Amino acid sequence: MDENQFALITGTSSGLGFEMAQFLLEEGYTVIGLSRRGTSIDHESFIDIVCDIRDEASVEEMYELVSGHTSTLDLLILNAGIFEMSPLVETSTKEFNDQLSTNVVGAFHILKHANDFLIENQTHVITISSIAAKKGFANISAYSASKFALNGMIEAVKEEWQDLGIRFTTLMPGAIYTPLWEE
């Protein structure tokens, strides 16, 4: 790996985001970790930024901070997400909107403002989606709707950025035991 490769990861306070940040640090990346409450990772190459990706102004401020460290991102990992289980009729509009705001609108904000940091034919965007984006499951209609929307948005951006040579990978795992399950 070349020196000074930068990775931006959303949702690094726990779970997959936390583990991916640790792994990339071990691989020699400088990792910019985003979360709403901060991260306990203590590493000289880790830049912890508190950012609410649901809020566009917060994302704009985050990129301003990032620009003080780098002008390019080699790796962009869209990982932040929330998950709530309840039947559709028991899901409040607030819960439904919260899942859309975090799982879709947050990724939209990150991508919308990443343009100045993209490296033609090099930047790789990895999206952590879910098997629930391919098949709806009982009691997770809001989550499934958010992941279907996320995948659709990623497919559209992939087409839009095709001429830039930006690589895209979308992972759609099944259930993974992370702190989301405990919440």
Give the contacts of 80 (CB within 8 A, at least 6 positions apart): 10, 11, 17, 34, 35, 53, 102, 103, 106, 107
pLDDT band for 182, please (50, 70, 90 cuts): low
1 has pLDDT over 90: no
pLDDT band for 136, please (50, 70, 90 cuts): confident
pTM equals: 0.92
Give the contacts of 50 (CB within 8 A, at least 6 positions apart): 34, 35, 36, 37, 38
Residues 158-181 have a mean pLDDT of: 82
Q: For residue 163, what pLDDT is reported? A: 96
